[in-house]
Amino acid sequence: MRCLGAKCLVSAERTPRQRQWRPQIYRKCTDTTWLFLFFLFWTGLMFITGYSVVAGATGRLLFGYDSFGNVCGKKNYPVEGAPLSGQDMTLKKHVFFMNSCNLEVKDGKLVSTTLCISSCPEEQLDTLEEIQLFAKNNGSFLCVYNLNSSNYTQNPHADSLCPRLPVPPSKSFPLFNRCIPQTPECYSLFASVLVNDVDTLHRILSGIMSGRDTILGLCILSLGLSLAMVFTFRFITTLLVHTFIALVILGLLFVCGVLWWLYYDYANDLSIALDTERENMTCLLGFAVVSTVLTAVLLVLIFVLRKRMKLAIELLWVTNKAISSSPFLLFQPLWTFAILIFFWVLWVAVLLSLGTAGAAQVIEGGQVEYKPLSGIWYMWWYHLVGLIWTSEFILACQQITVAGAVVTSYFNRNKNDPPDSPILSSLSILFCYHQGTAVKGSFLITMVRIPRTILMYIHNTLKDKRSALARSMFRCCFCCFCCLDRCLRHLNQNAYTTTAINGTDFCTSAKDTLKLLSKNSSHLTSVNCIGHFIIFLGKVLVVCFTVFGGLMAFNYHRVLQVWAIPLLLVAFFAYLVAHSFLSVFETVLDSLFVCFAVDLETNDGSSEKPYFMDQEFLSFVKRMNKLNNARAQREENLRNQEGTELRPIVR
């Protein structure tokens, strides 16, 4: 049957035309709408930042404050209706509880009177005369401010205006600069009330602030370990890989053993009486179980994949050769890390300010209490989304930059004359054309992480009310979101590489990549996955050493510190830093895979259409094809033999 005239023309127009791969020929701005939405979102973040600066009072959390609205160690502004507010407390840096042995709590709030003093009484004071003498000798006044020290023994209301006798000896503790009683009976009562009845967010923040030096040291350790892993992969050899895998196995087993030992130590410690210590023990059990399961899974995978490690090492050699054409790719994570650190510090500062935002209200006796402002929790969630989305956007920019540099070097006919400044060229293309694509890809990851965060929040909120079925449903949903997150990250990376090649938007690039890789998935997919697994083991090694250092450091500060959350944050930070540095190898590996597929799609190796890949990469692909064909032939022969054995005998 033939079609003539207009009918043929209409039929040709309706037939979809296959997209042509044109490496680095056409370029236009992509996903500009998403870039505008990201700008609007950051406008909201700037509003929250300004609001936290105006309404927040981080000094109250860091330095402590008295019952009259004065922040210790600072100059204060008066609160209307509170005559003892607005005092200069520059020299009075310590918080003193007038009734430290019998603190009273109502509706989750401390009602005991607190004062700002210049020094804590280090000896027990049994009488008002001794309190008066202590004020004279040390300049530290332990009675309410409007009572002159000369009237401590003469004022008939001194019993209510001065601390309850005897005043126990106390010492300043870095947590909130509080005067902590040193007698065992007072210390136990004081700590149980102070720690157990403070808002959860404040307890977590106080744990972070009290262990800030340790956290900073562990972060620096994770940075150093990540840099060491980068250079290890840069000069990788077979012996080095086996040594590295042995270290990973020993590190996992050692961390698991330390976690179970610490949990056993906590469980058999009869002196545990605080909720913080019990929470630390519970978190240790969770850490130990998770690390044990992770160790078992990784050991099984290492055993299963051990025979294909040699091919993965060869692929990493090819990756290192691609990096050699742009050696500054290894330093690409440094500016990413610097930007992330700057953003995280800003984010934490705003979080601290939001956590202390409250309106001063005068209550009975001229005292001041701070009521949380309405809408703070909504701002906190918005702020959390900003953390995830912006962090993922920064990492996406790094992925596009690295992919663009690899694409520029790969699609260069003259391998002896590499292009000038491929990284700067890739950066300029990113900022001029493809920021919207990075925004859209990072938004998809954010949309997967937000439900995971909500599930974790609901899981922790209803942990005492849920049934076994609910627990199983939560775990299944969490695992599904984790798998979806991994798939989206892989899809995003390939889409970014396609954008760097063709200059198309995110959705078009993702669709073209899926079609292309489905045709060429049999070449390098298995070895590519093994290469990713080895790089993942490098991240695990960094986290193992960092967590072990954190366990040893935080274990010496068990009391008055919720260190399980800071340890979890340190582990997350260590993995993120290791991922930021080692992801260069992952990005180069994935980009080479996409470039290789495009090369096969557009060229056939003839003199008219020669491949862009170099001879070393081409020889590696030929060896892979030879091994795959040999394995396929063995499987076919095995199936034929089985079919012969099962065939019935006909006479």
Q: Is 149 exposed, middle or buried (0-12, 13-18, 19+ CB in 10 A)?
A: middle
pLDDT of residue 647: 46
Other Cβ atoms closer than 10 A to 61: 20
Check: pTM over 0.75? Answer yes or no. Answer: no
- Asked if residue 366 has pLDDT above 80, the reply is yes
Report, as an integer, the average pLDDT of 14-32: 64
pLDDT confidence tier of residue 649, bands split at 50, 70 and 90: very low
Helices 435-461 + 32-55 axis angle, to 10: 50
Report, as an integer, the average pLDDT of 635-639: 70
366: closest CA among 96, 95, 84, 76?
Answer: 84
- Asked if residue 7 has pLDDT above 50, the reply is no
The runs of H, that is alpha helices, within 235-274 are: 238-267
Q: Is 217 exposed, middle or buried (0-12, 13-18, 19+ CB in 10 A)?
A: middle
- Asked if residue 418 has pLDDT above 50, the reply is yes
Of 71-85, 279-293, 322-336, give the range with the top mean pLDDT: 71-85
Tokens 């942990």 correspond to what residue? Answer: 463
Report, as an integer, the average pLDDT of 334-346: 87
Give the span between the Cα atoms of 459 and 484, in whole angstroms: 20
The more confident residue out of 535 and 469 is 535
* CB burial readout 371-395, b (16+ within 10 A) else e: eeeeebeebbeebbbbbbbbbbbbb
Report, as an integer, the average pLDDT of 562-570: 72
pLDDT confidence tier of residue 1, bands split at 50, 70 and 90: very low
Token duo for residue 115: 């004062």
pLDDT of residue 174: 60
- Asked if residue 513 has pLDDT above 80, the reply is yes
pLDDT of residue 117: 92
Give the span between the Cα atoms of 212 and 218, in whole angstroms: 10
pLDDT of residue 3: 44
Token duo for residue 518: 């489905």
Give the span between the Cα atoms of 24 and 418, in whole angstroms: 15
Q: Side chain identity at 309, as an amino acid letter? A: M
Q: Is 320 exposed, middle or buried (0-12, 13-18, 19+ CB in 10 A)?
A: middle
- Asked if residue 643 has pLDDT above 60, the reply is no
Tell me what percent of the residues of the chain surpass a pLDDT of 90: 8
Per the CB < 8 A criterion, the answer to whether 279 and 201 are in contact is no
pLDDT confidence tier of residue 5, bands split at 50, 70 and 90: very low
pLDDT of residue 563: 65
DSSP code of residue 308: G
- Asked if residue 462 has pLDDT above 70, the reply is no
Of 3-17, 320-334, 356-370, 405-419, least confident by mean pLDDT is 3-17
Q: What is the pLDDT of residues 581-598, one digit of tens each?
A: 887 888 888 888 888 888
The more confident residue out of 628 and 543 is 543
Q: What residues contact 524, with CB distance under 8 A and at least 6 apart?
A: 315, 593, 596, 621, 624
Q: What is the pLDDT of residues 196-220, one digit of tens each?
A: 444 454 555 555 655 667 778 888 8
